Amino acid sequence: MNKEEFLEMYLGLYINHHLVLEDMKAGSHKYTVIDVRNAPKEMKGDKIKDALEIPAKELSERLQELSKDKIYVVYDWTGGTILAKQALLILFKNGYEAYELAGALEGWRGMRLPLEKV
């Protein structure tokens, strides 16, 4: 595995916010966003519009809420944590297609994209 292959593997874990936003605007529901933050509701404050709230620590027990026909997009507070990747691994191991949202909630918020109260 060379640097290029390594980077492609790494970047292949992510999805760009543009794709999620276009899907949201078109109402095509190709992607389902999941907020995997483990924090209590009062700490979360808001979340990405229409995102499911499934804390990473509950994900393994709540897989029946998901569908193999959807593509899942998971996010945590920032891109500097590992929670979204832990959630990804659970989803991969159970046969779901999933990506980590590039930039995480921090990036989404910074670009003033649609949020809603939790």
Which 71-110 residues touch a second copy, going by CB under 8 A?
78-83, 85-86, 88-89, 92-93, 102-104, 106-107
CA 2 to chain CA mean position, Å: 28
Q: What is the dihedral of CA 78, 27, 69, 6, to 10 degrees?
A: -40
Task: Indicate whether 1 belongs to the interface with a second copy (CB under 8 A).
Answer: yes
β-pairing, 52-53 with 71-75?
A: unpaired
Which 2-31 residues touch a second copy, going by CB under 8 A?
3-4, 6-14
Site residues, a second copy (CB under 8 A) = 1, 3-4, 6-14, 78-83, 85-86, 88-89, 92-93, 102-104, 106-107
